Amino acid sequence: MSEHPLLEVRGLQKSFDVTKGFFKKEKQYLRAVNDVSFTVQNGEVLGVVGESGCGKSTLGNLIVHLHEPTAGKIVFEGIDMSALSREQLRRQRADIQMIFQDPFSSLNPRKRVFDIIAEPLRTHRDLNKEELQQEVLDLMDLVGLNRSFLNRYPHEFSGGQRQRIGIARAIALRPKLIICDEPVSALDVSIQSQILNLLKKLQKDLQLTYIFIAHGLPAVKHVSDRIAVMYLGKIVEWTTKEELFTNPMHPYTEGLLSAIPIPDPTKRKEQRPLLEGDIPNPVNPPPGCKFHPRCPYKTEICMQVEPEFTDKRAGHFVACHHPLGAEKQAEKKL
Protein backbone atom coordinates (compact mmCIF):
# COMPACT_ATOMS: atom_id res chain seq x y z
CA MET A 1 0.00 0.00 0.00
CA SER A 2 1.19 3.44 -0.85
CA GLU A 3 1.51 6.12 1.78
CA HIS A 4 -0.28 8.96 0.08
CA PRO A 5 -3.97 9.34 -0.72
CA LEU A 6 -5.01 8.76 -4.33
CA LEU A 7 -5.96 12.41 -4.74
CA GLU A 8 -5.01 15.41 -2.72
CA VAL A 9 -6.32 18.86 -3.49
CA ARG A 10 -4.67 21.81 -1.72
CA GLY A 11 -5.89 25.40 -1.75
CA LEU A 12 -7.40 24.91 -5.19
CA GLN A 13 -8.75 28.00 -6.89
CA LYS A 14 -10.33 28.82 -10.21
CA SER A 15 -11.30 32.36 -11.11
CA PHE A 16 -13.11 33.30 -14.30
CA ASP A 17 -12.70 36.73 -15.81
CA VAL A 18 -16.24 38.04 -16.10
CA THR A 19 -15.41 41.67 -16.86
CA LYS A 20 -18.11 43.11 -19.08
CA GLY A 21 -17.33 45.56 -21.87
CA PHE A 22 -13.97 46.55 -23.35
CA PHE A 23 -13.32 49.75 -21.53
CA LYS A 24 -14.00 48.68 -17.99
CA LYS A 25 -10.79 49.38 -16.16
CA GLU A 26 -11.63 47.29 -13.21
CA LYS A 27 -11.52 43.60 -13.91
CA GLN A 28 -14.20 41.45 -12.36
CA TYR A 29 -13.53 37.91 -11.33
CA LEU A 30 -15.80 35.10 -10.35
CA ARG A 31 -14.21 32.63 -7.99
CA ALA A 32 -15.96 29.45 -9.05
CA VAL A 33 -13.69 27.34 -6.84
CA ASN A 34 -12.28 29.19 -3.89
CA ASP A 35 -9.53 27.71 -1.76
CA VAL A 36 -10.70 24.11 -1.71
CA SER A 37 -8.73 21.36 0.02
CA PHE A 38 -9.57 17.70 0.52
CA THR A 39 -8.24 14.20 0.02
CA VAL A 40 -9.69 11.11 -1.56
CA GLN A 41 -8.39 7.68 -0.58
CA ASN A 42 -8.05 4.81 -2.98
CA GLY A 43 -11.31 2.87 -3.36
CA GLU A 44 -13.36 5.58 -1.72
CA VAL A 45 -16.36 7.53 -3.02
CA LEU A 46 -16.48 11.23 -2.27
CA GLY A 47 -19.90 12.80 -2.86
CA VAL A 48 -19.87 16.51 -3.71
CA VAL A 49 -23.17 18.34 -3.27
CA GLY A 50 -24.37 21.88 -3.43
CA GLU A 51 -26.84 23.97 -5.31
CA SER A 52 -26.57 25.27 -8.84
CA GLY A 53 -23.48 27.36 -9.51
CA CYS A 54 -21.59 26.48 -6.34
CA GLY A 55 -18.62 25.22 -8.36
CA LYS A 56 -19.05 21.45 -8.46
CA SER A 57 -18.45 21.03 -12.19
CA THR A 58 -15.56 23.48 -12.17
CA LEU A 59 -13.95 21.41 -9.43
CA GLY A 60 -14.45 18.22 -11.46
CA ASN A 61 -13.10 19.89 -14.59
CA LEU A 62 -10.00 21.05 -12.74
CA ILE A 63 -9.26 17.51 -11.63
CA VAL A 64 -9.52 16.12 -15.18
CA HIS A 65 -7.40 19.03 -16.53
CA LEU A 66 -10.23 20.60 -18.50
CA HIS A 67 -9.36 23.81 -16.67
CA GLU A 68 -6.06 25.25 -15.47
CA PRO A 69 -6.19 26.13 -11.78
CA THR A 70 -5.70 29.78 -10.88
CA ALA A 71 -3.94 28.72 -7.68
CA GLY A 72 -3.38 25.67 -5.54
CA LYS A 73 -2.40 22.18 -6.51
CA ILE A 74 -3.75 18.80 -7.40
CA VAL A 75 -1.64 15.88 -6.27
CA PHE A 76 -2.49 12.56 -7.86
CA GLU A 77 -0.78 9.44 -6.46
CA GLY A 78 1.71 11.69 -4.73
CA ILE A 79 2.68 13.57 -7.88
CA ASP A 80 1.90 17.24 -8.38
CA MET A 81 0.05 17.39 -11.69
CA SER A 82 1.33 20.81 -12.64
CA ALA A 83 4.83 19.33 -12.75
CA LEU A 84 3.99 16.68 -15.33
CA SER A 85 5.24 16.63 -18.89
CA ARG A 86 2.82 16.31 -21.81
CA GLU A 87 3.48 12.62 -22.24
CA GLN A 88 3.01 11.99 -18.54
CA LEU A 89 -0.24 13.95 -18.62
CA ARG A 90 -1.47 11.93 -21.58
CA ARG A 91 -0.84 8.74 -19.71
CA GLN A 92 -2.47 10.10 -16.61
CA ARG A 93 -5.52 11.07 -18.58
CA ALA A 94 -6.22 7.36 -18.94
CA ASP A 95 -6.23 7.11 -15.15
CA ILE A 96 -8.87 9.78 -14.61
CA GLN A 97 -12.16 9.48 -16.49
CA MET A 98 -15.40 11.36 -16.48
CA ILE A 99 -19.11 10.48 -16.68
CA PHE A 100 -21.39 13.37 -17.61
CA GLN A 101 -24.89 14.43 -16.70
CA ASP A 102 -26.33 14.56 -20.15
CA PRO A 103 -26.09 11.19 -21.83
CA PHE A 104 -27.69 12.81 -24.89
CA SER A 105 -24.97 15.25 -25.73
CA SER A 106 -21.94 13.43 -24.37
CA LEU A 107 -22.05 10.65 -26.96
CA ASN A 108 -21.11 11.20 -30.58
CA PRO A 109 -24.36 10.64 -32.52
CA ARG A 110 -22.56 9.42 -35.63
CA LYS A 111 -20.70 6.63 -33.91
CA ARG A 112 -21.93 3.15 -33.15
CA VAL A 113 -21.95 1.79 -29.62
CA PHE A 114 -18.96 -0.38 -30.46
CA ASP A 115 -16.84 2.57 -31.59
CA ILE A 116 -17.87 4.73 -28.66
CA ILE A 117 -16.83 2.15 -26.10
CA ALA A 118 -13.75 1.10 -28.08
CA GLU A 119 -12.39 4.62 -28.50
CA PRO A 120 -10.36 4.88 -25.29
CA LEU A 121 -9.09 1.33 -25.79
CA ARG A 122 -7.87 2.20 -29.29
CA THR A 123 -6.11 5.32 -28.05
CA HIS A 124 -4.44 3.90 -25.00
CA ARG A 125 -4.06 0.18 -25.50
CA ASP A 126 -2.58 -2.00 -28.15
CA LEU A 127 -5.22 -4.62 -28.93
CA ASN A 128 -5.87 -6.63 -32.07
CA LYS A 129 -9.32 -6.75 -33.63
CA GLU A 130 -10.54 -9.81 -31.78
CA GLU A 131 -9.22 -8.63 -28.44
CA LEU A 132 -10.86 -5.26 -28.93
CA GLN A 133 -14.21 -6.82 -29.80
CA GLN A 134 -14.00 -9.13 -26.80
CA GLU A 135 -13.09 -6.29 -24.48
CA VAL A 136 -16.05 -4.19 -25.67
CA LEU A 137 -18.46 -7.10 -25.28
CA ASP A 138 -17.18 -7.73 -21.76
CA LEU A 139 -17.72 -4.10 -20.91
CA MET A 140 -21.26 -4.21 -22.27
CA ASP A 141 -22.00 -7.23 -20.07
CA LEU A 142 -20.55 -5.41 -17.11
CA VAL A 143 -22.84 -2.40 -17.46
CA GLY A 144 -25.93 -4.40 -18.40
CA LEU A 145 -26.14 -3.52 -22.10
CA ASN A 146 -27.49 -6.17 -24.42
CA ARG A 147 -24.72 -7.42 -26.74
CA SER A 148 -27.05 -7.08 -29.70
CA PHE A 149 -26.81 -3.30 -29.37
CA LEU A 150 -23.20 -3.35 -30.56
CA ASN A 151 -23.86 -1.75 -33.93
CA ARG A 152 -26.60 0.66 -32.98
CA TYR A 153 -26.38 4.44 -32.72
CA PRO A 154 -26.91 6.48 -29.52
CA HIS A 155 -30.22 8.01 -30.64
CA GLU A 156 -31.79 4.55 -30.64
CA PHE A 157 -31.42 4.34 -26.87
CA SER A 158 -33.22 5.65 -23.83
CA GLY A 159 -31.45 7.98 -21.39
CA GLY A 160 -30.65 5.17 -18.98
CA GLN A 161 -29.14 3.00 -21.70
CA ARG A 162 -27.10 5.91 -23.01
CA GLN A 163 -25.78 6.49 -19.53
CA ARG A 164 -24.74 2.82 -19.46
CA ILE A 165 -22.81 3.37 -22.70
CA GLY A 166 -21.08 6.38 -21.13
CA ILE A 167 -20.21 4.31 -18.08
CA ALA A 168 -18.80 1.46 -20.19
CA ARG A 169 -16.56 3.94 -22.00
CA ALA A 170 -15.44 5.53 -18.74
CA ILE A 171 -14.41 2.24 -17.12
CA ALA A 172 -12.85 0.75 -20.27
CA LEU A 173 -9.31 1.59 -19.21
CA ARG A 174 -9.91 0.68 -15.55
CA PRO A 175 -9.13 4.22 -14.48
CA LYS A 176 -7.99 4.94 -10.97
CA LEU A 177 -10.43 7.80 -10.52
CA ILE A 178 -13.80 8.54 -12.13
CA ILE A 179 -15.49 11.91 -11.84
CA CYS A 180 -19.25 11.42 -12.12
CA ASP A 181 -20.83 14.82 -12.80
CA GLU A 182 -24.55 14.48 -12.03
CA PRO A 183 -24.81 11.10 -13.76
CA VAL A 184 -28.47 10.53 -12.89
CA SER A 185 -30.01 14.02 -12.79
CA ALA A 186 -31.33 13.82 -16.34
CA LEU A 187 -32.89 10.38 -15.91
CA ASP A 188 -36.39 9.29 -15.03
CA VAL A 189 -36.96 8.46 -11.39
CA SER A 190 -37.49 4.76 -12.02
CA ILE A 191 -34.18 4.60 -13.94
CA GLN A 192 -32.08 6.66 -11.51
CA SER A 193 -31.85 3.90 -8.95
CA GLN A 194 -30.86 1.36 -11.62
CA ILE A 195 -27.89 3.51 -12.58
CA LEU A 196 -26.96 4.31 -8.97
CA ASN A 197 -26.98 0.58 -8.18
CA LEU A 198 -24.84 -0.11 -11.24
CA LEU A 199 -22.29 2.57 -10.33
CA LYS A 200 -22.04 1.27 -6.80
CA LYS A 201 -21.67 -2.33 -7.92
CA LEU A 202 -18.91 -1.44 -10.40
CA GLN A 203 -17.14 0.58 -7.75
CA LYS A 204 -17.14 -2.39 -5.39
CA ASP A 205 -16.30 -5.06 -7.94
CA LEU A 206 -13.58 -3.11 -9.74
CA GLN A 207 -12.42 -1.21 -6.63
CA LEU A 208 -12.88 2.11 -8.34
CA THR A 209 -12.60 5.53 -6.76
CA TYR A 210 -15.28 8.10 -7.55
CA ILE A 211 -15.88 11.76 -7.05
CA PHE A 212 -19.63 11.80 -7.33
CA ILE A 213 -21.18 15.21 -8.02
CA ALA A 214 -24.87 15.97 -7.51
CA HIS A 215 -27.23 18.79 -6.66
CA GLY A 216 -28.89 17.12 -3.77
CA LEU A 217 -28.06 14.88 -0.89
CA PRO A 218 -30.49 12.06 -1.82
CA ALA A 219 -28.56 11.30 -5.03
CA VAL A 220 -25.14 11.03 -3.33
CA LYS A 221 -26.36 9.27 -0.22
CA HIS A 222 -26.35 5.78 -1.65
CA VAL A 223 -22.93 5.66 -3.30
CA SER A 224 -20.79 7.94 -1.15
CA ASP A 225 -18.49 7.07 1.72
CA ARG A 226 -17.71 10.69 2.46
CA ILE A 227 -19.56 13.83 1.45
CA ALA A 228 -18.35 17.39 0.77
CA VAL A 229 -20.96 20.15 0.85
CA MET A 230 -20.16 23.19 -1.29
CA TYR A 231 -21.51 26.72 -1.11
CA LEU A 232 -20.34 29.58 -3.33
CA GLY A 233 -17.09 27.94 -4.39
CA LYS A 234 -16.13 26.65 -0.95
CA ILE A 235 -16.41 23.36 0.82
CA VAL A 236 -18.29 24.18 4.00
CA GLU A 237 -18.53 20.67 5.44
CA TRP A 238 -16.68 17.41 4.79
CA THR A 239 -17.20 14.17 6.68
CA THR A 240 -18.45 10.59 6.43
CA LYS A 241 -21.94 10.23 5.08
CA GLU A 242 -23.32 8.67 8.27
CA GLU A 243 -21.97 11.58 10.28
CA LEU A 244 -23.28 14.14 7.81
CA PHE A 245 -26.81 12.79 7.82
CA THR A 246 -27.05 12.19 11.55
CA ASN A 247 -24.92 15.08 12.81
CA PRO A 248 -24.80 17.91 10.29
CA MET A 249 -22.69 20.72 11.75
CA HIS A 250 -22.96 23.43 9.11
CA PRO A 251 -26.23 25.41 9.09
CA TYR A 252 -26.32 25.18 5.28
CA THR A 253 -26.16 21.39 5.42
CA GLU A 254 -28.97 21.45 7.94
CA GLY A 255 -30.96 23.66 5.56
CA LEU A 256 -30.27 21.37 2.61
CA LEU A 257 -31.44 18.37 4.60
CA SER A 258 -34.61 20.00 5.82
CA ALA A 259 -35.55 21.20 2.31
CA ILE A 260 -35.69 17.69 0.87
CA PRO A 261 -39.31 16.76 0.26
CA ILE A 262 -40.20 13.63 2.17
CA PRO A 263 -42.17 11.03 0.21
CA ASP A 264 -44.57 10.42 3.07
CA PRO A 265 -47.60 12.68 3.50
CA THR A 266 -47.86 11.86 7.20
CA LYS A 267 -44.51 13.65 7.70
CA ARG A 268 -45.28 16.96 6.03
CA LYS A 269 -42.94 19.80 6.79
CA GLU A 270 -45.49 22.54 7.18
CA GLN A 271 -43.91 23.63 10.44
CA ARG A 272 -40.28 22.93 9.66
CA PRO A 273 -37.92 25.93 9.43
CA LEU A 274 -36.77 26.60 5.89
CA LEU A 275 -33.71 28.41 4.63
CA GLU A 276 -34.64 31.87 3.46
CA GLY A 277 -33.26 33.95 0.65
CA ASP A 278 -31.39 33.21 -2.54
CA ILE A 279 -27.82 32.29 -3.33
CA PRO A 280 -25.90 35.59 -3.62
CA ASN A 281 -24.29 36.78 -6.83
CA PRO A 282 -20.95 34.90 -6.96
CA VAL A 283 -19.16 37.90 -8.49
CA ASN A 284 -19.92 39.91 -5.35
CA PRO A 285 -19.97 37.39 -2.54
CA PRO A 286 -20.83 38.67 0.93
CA PRO A 287 -17.98 39.35 3.38
CA GLY A 288 -17.28 37.11 6.35
CA CYS A 289 -19.00 33.77 6.13
CA LYS A 290 -20.45 33.53 2.62
CA PHE A 291 -23.54 31.89 4.02
CA HIS A 292 -24.30 34.52 6.64
CA PRO A 293 -27.11 36.37 4.78
CA ARG A 294 -29.18 33.17 4.85
CA CYS A 295 -28.00 31.76 8.15
CA PRO A 296 -30.44 31.60 11.06
CA TYR A 297 -27.57 31.33 13.58
CA LYS A 298 -25.39 34.25 12.44
CA THR A 299 -23.81 36.68 14.89
CA GLU A 300 -21.60 39.75 14.50
CA ILE A 301 -18.42 37.78 13.82
CA CYS A 302 -20.03 35.86 10.92
CA MET A 303 -20.53 39.08 8.99
CA GLN A 304 -16.92 40.10 9.29
CA VAL A 305 -14.60 37.14 9.63
CA GLU A 306 -14.50 34.25 7.21
CA PRO A 307 -14.63 31.03 9.27
CA GLU A 308 -11.78 28.59 8.82
CA PHE A 309 -12.33 25.11 7.52
CA THR A 310 -11.20 23.01 10.47
CA ASP A 311 -11.55 19.57 11.95
CA LYS A 312 -14.19 19.95 14.62
CA ARG A 313 -14.36 16.34 15.58
CA ALA A 314 -12.35 13.33 14.41
CA GLY A 315 -12.35 14.09 10.70
CA HIS A 316 -15.54 16.14 10.63
CA PHE A 317 -14.45 19.37 8.89
CA VAL A 318 -16.66 22.44 9.04
CA ALA A 319 -16.27 26.09 8.11
CA CYS A 320 -18.56 27.82 10.58
CA HIS A 321 -18.20 30.04 13.64
CA HIS A 322 -21.13 28.34 15.34
CA PRO A 323 -21.18 24.74 14.23
CA LEU A 324 -24.36 22.92 15.17
CA GLY A 325 -24.30 20.43 17.97
CA ALA A 326 -20.82 21.56 19.00
CA GLU A 327 -21.77 21.79 22.67
CA LYS A 328 -23.49 18.44 22.51
CA GLN A 329 -20.34 16.93 21.13
CA ALA A 330 -18.11 18.65 23.64
CA GLU A 331 -20.24 17.07 26.35
CA LYS A 332 -19.77 13.67 24.83
CA LYS A 333 -16.02 14.09 24.98
CA LEU A 334 -16.02 14.89 28.71
Ligand X SMILES: Nc1ncnc2c1ncn2[C@@H]1O[C@H](COP(=O)(O)OP(=O)(O)OP(=O)(O)O)[C@@H](O)[C@H]1O
Binding residues for other proteins, rule: CB under 8 A, are: 51-52, 158, 160-161, 188-194, 196-197, 200, 215-219, 221-222, 245, 255-270, 274-279
Please say which residue, 65 or 215, places its beta carbon nearer to other proteins. Answer: 215
Q: Which of 34, 57, 163, 224 binds Mg ion (CB under 5 A)?
A: 57
Nearest-5° angle of CA 200, CA 206, CA 208?
Answer: 65
Binding of residue 57 to ligand X (CB under 6 A):
yes
Q: Which is nearer to Mg ion, 53 or 325 (CB)?
A: 53
61 class by beta-carbon count within 10 Å (0-12 exposed, 13-18 middle, 19+ buried): middle
Contact, 137 vs 147, CB < 8 A?
Answer: yes
The b/e string for 260-298 (b: 16+ C-beta within 10 A; e otherwise) is: eeeeeeeeeeeeeeebeeebbebeebeebbbbbbbbeeb
The site partner of 55 among ligand X, other proteins, Mg ion, none (C-beta below 5 to 8 Å per kind) is ligand X
What's the CA gap between 161 and 108, in Å, rounded? 15
- Quote helix, strand, coil % in the chain, to nearest 5: 35, 20, 40
Rank residues 28 and 310 by Cβ distance to ligand X and give the closer one: 28
Specify the stretch interacting with ligand X by CB under 6 A; choose among 52-60, 84-92, 103-111, 288-296: 52-60
Query: 206 or 260, CB closer to other proteins?
Result: 260
Q: Which amino acid is at 29?
A: Y
**Contact (CB, 8 A) for 139 and 174:** no
Residues in 254-283 at the binding interface with ligand X, rule: CB under 6 A: 282
Query: Could you say which of Mg ion, other proteins, ligand X, none residue 150 binds, taking C-beta under 5 to 8 angstroms by partner kind?
Result: none
Can you give the binding site for Mg ion, defined by CB under 5 A?
A: 57
Can you give the binding site for ligand X, defined by CB under 6 A?
A: 16, 18, 30, 32, 50, 52-58, 215, 282
